[in-house]
Amino acid sequence: MGKEQLHVLSALDGAKTQWYHFTAIIIAGMGFFTDAYDLFCISLVTKLLGRIYYHVDGSPSPGTLPPNISAAVNGVAFCGTISGQLFFGWLGDKLGRKKVYGITLLLMVICSIGSGLSFGHTAKGVMATLCFFRFWLGFGIGGDYPLSATIMSEYANKKTRGGFIAAVFAMQGFGILAGGTIAIIVSTLFKAWFDAPPYNVDPLGSTVPEADYVWRIILLVGALPAALTYYWRMKMPETARYTALVAKNAKQAATDMSKVLQVEIQEDQSKVEEITNAQRHNFGLFSREFLRRHGSHLLGTMICWFLLDIAFYSQNLFQKDIFSSINWIPKANTMNAIEEVYKIARAQTLIALCGTVPGYWFTVFLIDKIGRFWIQLLGFFMMTVFMLGLAIPYHHWKTPGNHIGFIVLYAFTFFFANFGPNSTTFIVPAEIFPARLRSTCHGISAAAGKAGAIIGSFGFLYAAQSQDKAKVDHGYSPGIGVRNSLFVLAGCNFLGFLCTLLVPESKGKSLEEISGENTGDSETNNSATHNGTLPPV
């Protein structure tokens, strides 16, 4: 195997951690910071949109988005994300990572601005415009998943590769935190400038006209980090693995990486041609050879990501409803519109600070020591345990004085999602597939995840509704309730635990060794297939 490894790839695999690694993490990571901000900030303002555009005169409770509008506003970005993951994942393997990378960022900037400026004379017009821009925003965000993961895995050395890809993904945590923080700042300022009585005192007066600026500002801010990163993203060279193994240009790969690593790297054009022209390396995505070598891996990465996102996104998008049900956020009619945004943002920010962000960074520091397989297995197991811990004594958590215990368990669930499958499902598909199919396979795995997110977010709009007709939100039918919803999520996590057995361990190996790209031995591929069920070698 060793004699076939290209000199430029050996240099990358053995490179010491240096400045270019950190710049790559920041450049790729700011895309993810923006992704998370844009995806999750909508949950902070959906209640406000309901109050502004769907007020009902004489109603004892504030206006809420009708179920179909709420499902569209919350879910349309995910539909765009799935399309973007599949399209840009495929394009990243066809045209190169770098060429496609800037397009996704520009799309995110334009559509963040469009979302905030959503125009229209009627509620329907504003919601339609918002949904249009959020679909294309999601399309850009979708492209960022396979491209960022692939670029970082192809830039990194094999010793710390997992930590570097995890660090890119960990920027999501800061994005969620930033969304909550911006919402707190904006709502605090507007609350001070435009004070209003609670809804139960003055239904019309509780939503001041200026409240319309609050949600728009929160959405507009999402354009800033993406815009600031665009120049640096365009300056990054194409990855050597794409240039050498897919574009078959050894000279360019050696030139690019000589500048990045600041060492002299010789070109291996004859070796490049020998490896890329070998019959065993030319199988396509829909070939029998791909199915034999990587079929179970792709199935494993898809199912695990799908199951994880059902649980992860249903919680993130609807945690405001869970907080309300345990009385941590006051009843809507006891607050004015801007105060409600503040309370929801404060709750989301606290969860991000205590559970989400630390979980990501535990993964960054430990993934190359413990391995991907064990972290994912532990994460799914602990998420199952904590979900059951929330669900079984659910009525106990609802009684006054016990809600802090609920918040603690809820934060631990988030911690083990992020120190677990939420990170590893992103990392592994960027490592285990051949270079010419890597971005495509990551895009397919990520799209399966977002399909789970759609089920989680759309389904739990309805499922988490109370079984008691009198307690159901306006416009909804009775559901299975929060408690039973938590049982369903626990079941998804346990299935994810079992499906992790399909995914191989990639710790400490070169990308070519994992995918079998520089060897024809079936031995490498077989050992990779079974590594998932055994301790990493």
In this predicted structure, what is the pLDDT of residue 322? Answer: 59
Q: Which amino acid is at 42?
A: I
Q: What is the token pair recorded at 41?
A: 């900030």
Is 80 exceeded by the pLDDT of residue 474?
Answer: no
- Phi, psi dihedral angles at 236 (to 5 degrees): -65, 135
Contacts of 526 (CB under 8 A, 6+ apart): none
Q: How far is CA 18 from CA 15, 23, 149, 254, in A?
A: 8, 9, 19, 18
In this predicted structure, what is the pLDDT of residue 289? Answer: 86
Give the whole-angstrom CA distance, residue 317 versus residue 178: 16
CB contact at 8 A, 423 and 515: no
For residue 246, give the DSSP letter: I
Tell me the pLDDT band of 520, cut-offs 50, 70 and 90: very low
Give the whole-angstrom CA distance, residue 37 versus residue 172: 8
pLDDT tens-digit readout, 480-517: 877 888 899 999 999 999 999 998 898 988 888 887 76
* Higher-scoring residue by pLDDT: 170, 536: 170
Give the whole-angstrom CA distance, residue 510 versus residue 499: 24
DSSP string of 371-391, one letter each residue: -HHHHHHHHHHHHHHHHHHHH
pTM (2 decimals)?
0.87
Nearest C-alpha neighbor of 19 from the set 369, 234, 262: 262
pLDDT tens-digit readout, 301-347: 999 999 999 988 776 544 655 566 566 778 888 889 999 999 989 88
Is 70 exceeded by the pLDDT of residue 19?
Answer: yes
State which H helix or E strand residue 186 sits in. Answer: helix 161-193
In this predicted structure, what is the pLDDT of residue 313? Answer: 77
DSSP string of 405-463, one letter each residue: HHHHHHHHHHHHHHTTHHHHHHHGGGTSS-HHHHHHHHHHHHHHHHHHHHHHHHHHHHH
Number of CB atoms found within 10 A of residue 61's CB: 14
Give the whole-angstrom CA distance, residue 413 versus residue 382: 7
Give the whole-angstrom CA distance, residue 61 versus residue 426: 41
In this predicted structure, what is the pLDDT of residue 136? Answer: 96
Mean pLDDT over the full length of the chain:
85
Give the whole-angstrom CA distance, residue 409 versus residue 213: 35
pLDDT tens-digit readout, 114-157: 999 988 879 999 999 999 999 999 999 999 999 999 999 988 88
In this predicted structure, what is the pLDDT of residue 530? Answer: 40
Give the whole-angstrom CA distance, residue 171 versus residue 176: 9
Tell me the pLDDT band of 3, cut-offs 50, 70 and 90: very low
Q: Which amino acid is at 273?
A: E
What stretches of 41-158 show up as alpha helix (H) in DSSP? Answer: 42-53, 67-94, 97-116, 123-155
CB contact at 8 A, 29 and 165: no
Is 90 exceeded by the pLDDT of residue 358?
Answer: no
How many residues make up the chain in this entry? 537
In this predicted structure, what is the pLDDT of residue 389? Answer: 92
CB contact at 8 A, 77 and 135: yes
In this predicted structure, what is the pLDDT of residue 536? Answer: 34
Number of CB atoms found within 10 A of residue 431's CB: 27
Percent of the chain with pLDDT over 90: 41
